Structure 1
Amino acid sequence: MTRLAATRTGASARATAALLATLALALTGCGAQGTSPEKSDAEASSRIVTEPEAGAFPVAVDHAFGTFELDEAPERVVTIGWGSEDISAALGVVPIAVPESWAGDDDGLVPWFRDTVETAGAPLPETLNDIGIGEIDFEQILALKPDAIIAPFSGITDTQYERLEEIAPTLAYPEKPWSLDWQDHAELMGEALGRPALAKQLVADTRAAVEAQGAEHPEFKDATFVYSTAVSEGSTDVGFYAPSTSLIGIIEDLGLTLSPQVVDRAKQFADEIYFGVSLEKVDEIEADVFLGVVNNQDEVDYALAQPHFASWQPIANDHAVWLTDRQVSQAVAAPSVLSVPWVLDEFVPELAEALAR
């Protein structure tokens, strides 16, 4: 049984170096369109690492609630949801405020994001107040005076969107909440922030890194997997993530295939990103490897103490990767052009080891 807890070696440094190389090319290779003098100040300018591409503005991007429109490049960006702060920073627009990550440090920031911001020499953003699941502190955002609010991978409602749109132009998800894959997420934000070519390059670089790791493990192409929350205390179900979730995509990009039984059962739950299977029926789900997201070792021990779960094929065969480290879990669960390079060198060997046992 593998308990994946991050010990950062050179992975973060290599990811940052690759990102900076791409950003350097963007600075020298893209035509720049300056921001208006009346909007610029020292603080805002220090957050702009790359200039927008020539002809990128004005921009209009359709989404589920309307159209995101900007006449000129934003300098004060607030991000809502998962992963958008990563993409914004990677595109050279460091946000003024971001969600506080459940896997973050004392400032609520994950290391791949902090590394990118600090390497760029930009100020760290403020974190948004956590006032309840799904709730937004509109007063805090209003006080920040953003000129763009970016929330394409989030669960904002139409009512919340209308309030945010009163504060600043707001980019919501294209169709459904929490439904963008990491590539589309990056390219959508590249268009909205006026750096579409840079976004495509970052996606290509990240995809190449994933494919290179997958090519080193041809056994992945013959393996099926499940992504699960295991068994929480007091529950009689095993939780599984559906094919529509972004965290499935990065594992499939490595060459593995989501369990066909998970795919079939997910159809019963329409647009749900997560569903449960009773412990008594968990053996109906076939998989070569189990990926389990947990908060700590106590949750692993609790799951393994459940007889039906412990006798389930991937668990009984010790083909399990337990993501006990929150930062690793976040990097895999919310893949981005920053988090994926950061986590690959840690995650892929553990996955291969679990399959080989």
Structure 2
Amino acid sequence: MSSHRFRLLVVAAALVGISACGGTSDTGSKDESRSDGVFPLTVEHALGKTTIPAKPKRVATVNWANHEVPLALGVVPVGMAAANFGDNNDDGVLPWVEEKLDDLKAKTPVLFDETDGIDFEAVADTKPDVILAAYSGLTKKDYETLSEIAPVVAYPDAAWATPWREIIRTNSKAIGLADEGEKLIKKLDGDIAETAAKYPQLKGKSAMFMTHVDPNDVSQVGFYTAHDTRTQFFQDLGMKIPGSIAKASEGTDKFALTKSAEQIDAFDDVDIITGYGDDTGELLKTITKDPLLSKIPAVERGSTYLLPGSSPLATAANPTPLSIGYVLDDYAAALAEAADKVK
């Protein structure tokens, strides 16, 4: 895209935003309920402060899962990132998002192809009033470029490290639905507690989530740190983060780290290992036959569960507002089966 073309798009988006701010509507009048928030509204985040002048009418989202917040609250985005993992029918939309769009009788929003990074031109073409990115990996440059299109709400603390509750709080606040966001959190907390109660064997078990493993090179063991939402979700289910993972997470804000296979004795305190596998089960066989990795206690006793390939279930292990209810019971049941092997 030429710089001249992009500047024209930015100006057009800005003019739409100014027009929206100057008028009144059923969703933007001063008579709206307190749950809609008070505008102008300022949101602080890791990349700065963003002021949203009026309640957004056109919401765009980038990166993973941010679109699920407005959808869960009945707001259909004008554009969102296409799913590139766990999409079971290759249409760019995960099944729980399709289900919600059907419930809302809404068409699929414009899908941004982020295979090679954010498609700034496509975002600008949707003429958004706000861009939600509370769970994202935005760089400062990404943020500045997007901010030329519309106000951008980035992650509160660190890239790819926003817990699901904060994804909801941050994004719902930005669209004037903070109270509704809190109600959603309360509902999901109740669903999680109800599911966890069905699997008491999970309580108190320590769990580690491995990153993607190359079956042709198992000399390194990757794992998500205590800052990552996959690891934090174990605590929602009544489990705990192993001391080895907690210690390794100190002094870094990275969401994933690695250890060499020669250091696998560090994971002796892990009761259950889960992670991303494949549809054939070959990766788990590789790990259990490896002379070093097979000595990890969780691998040795079989309390290891690898999620099936790039399936929706594997995707939902990273909890998001709409995926939690969709696969919660299946995920908890699989972890409970692994927990049964811990003596």
Pick the TM interval, shorter chain.
0.7 to 0.9
Counterpart position of 1:300: 284
Counterpart position of 1:288: 271
Cα distance between partner residues in 2 of 1:39 and 1:303: 61
- Whether the 8 Å contact between 1:52 and 1:73 is mirrored in structure 2 is no
Deviation, structure 1 residue 234: 2.3
- Whether the 8 Å contact between 2:169 and 2:178 is mirrored in structure 1 is yes
Cα distance between partner residues in 2 of 1:64 and 1:287: 32
Cα distance between partner residues in 2 of 1:284 and 1:174: 31
More RCO (CA 8 Å, sep 6+): 1
Residue type matched to 2:273 in 1? F
- Whether the 8 Å contact between 1:223 and 1:289 is mirrored in structure 2 is yes
Deviation, structure 1 residue 56: 3.5
Cα distance between partner residues in 2 of 1:185 and 1:254: 19
Cα distance between partner residues in 2 of 1:131 and 1:106: 14
TM-score of the two chains, using structure 2 as the length reference: 0.84
Cα distance between partner residues in 1 of 2:339 and 2:36: 48
Cα distance between partner residues in 1 of 2:232 and 2:24: 39
- Whether the 8 Å contact between 2:133 and 2:152 is mirrored in structure 1 is yes
Cα distance between partner residues in 1 of 2:127 and 2:24: 12
Unaligned runs of 5+ in 2: 1-19, 28-32
Deviations 1:190-234 (A, max 9, x none): 111111111000000101111122223333223111111364122
- Whether the 8 Å contact between 2:226 and 2:255 is mirrored in structure 1 is yes
Residue type matched to 2:45 in 1? H
Distance 1:251-1:216 versus aligned 2 partners, 3 A rule:
same
Cα distance between partner residues in 2 of 1:123 and 1:65: 32
Distance 1:116-1:257 versus aligned 2 partners, 3 A rule:
same
Percent same amino acid among aligned pairs? 27
Cα distance between partner residues in 2 of 1:299 and 1:201: 41
SS at match of 1:307: coil
Counterpart position of 1:202: 184
Distance 1:306-1:167 versus aligned 2 partners, 3 A rule:
same
Runs (4+) of structure 1 exceeding 6 A deviation are: 35-40
2:114 corresponds to which of 117, 125, 130: 130
Counterpart position of 1:10: none
The residue correspondences of 1:92-107 to structure 2 (distance < 5 A) are 92-101=74-83, 102-104=85-87, 105-107=89-91
Cα distance between partner residues in 2 of 1:305 and 1:181: 35
SS at match of 2:210: strand
Counterpart position of 1:58: 40
The residue correspondences of 1:215-294 to structure 2 (distance < 5 A) are 215-229=197-211, 231-232=213-214, 233-267=216-250, 270-285=252-267, 286-294=269-277
Q: Which moved more, 1:240-249 or 1:210-219?
A: 210-219
- Whether the 8 Å contact between 1:231 and 1:303 is mirrored in structure 2 is no
Distance 1:258-1:86 versus aligned 2 partners, 3 A rule:
same
- Whether the 8 Å contact between 1:103 and 1:110 is mirrored in structure 2 is yes
Deviation, structure 1 residue 69: 2.1
Cα distance between partner residues in 2 of 1:39 and 1:235: 60
Cα distance between partner residues in 2 of 1:88 and 1:303: 41
Q: Which moved more, 1:231-240 or 1:244-253?
A: 231-240
Cα distance between partner residues in 2 of 1:138 and 1:56: 29
SS at match of 1:94: coil
Deviation, structure 1 residue 295: 4.2
Cα distance between partner residues in 2 of 1:295 and 1:162: 38
Deviation, structure 1 residue 71: 2.7
2:298 corresponds to which of 314, 318, 328: 314
- Whether the 8 Å contact between 1:148 and 1:168 is mirrored in structure 2 is yes
Deviation, structure 1 residue 70: 2.2
Unaligned runs of 5+ in 1: 1-34, 46-50
Distance 1:141-1:205 versus aligned 2 partners, 3 A rule:
same
The reply to whether residue 354 of structure 1 matches residue 332 of structure 2 is: no
Cα distance between partner residues in 2 of 1:207 and 1:291: 22
- Whether the 8 Å contact between 1:81 and 1:155 is mirrored in structure 2 is yes
Deviations 1:226-246 (A, max 9, x none): 111364122411111100001
Cα distance between partner residues in 2 of 1:264 and 1:137: 38
SS at match of 1:257: coil
SS at match of 1:227: strand
Counterpart position of 2:170: 188
Deviation, structure 1 residue 37: 10
Cα distance between partner residues in 1 of 2:167 and 2:37: 21
Deviations 1:253-294 (A, max 9, x none): 1111111111112226x1111111211221331211111213
- Whether the 8 Å contact between 1:75 and 1:93 is mirrored in structure 2 is no
Residue type matched to 1:93 in 2? V
Distance 1:319-1:142 versus aligned 2 partners, 3 A rule:
same
Counterpart position of 2:3: none
Deviation, structure 1 residue 55: 4.6
CA RMSD of aligned residues (A): 2.3
Cα distance between partner residues in 2 of 1:141 and 1:302: 42
Cα distance between partner residues in 2 of 1:180 and 1:144: 26
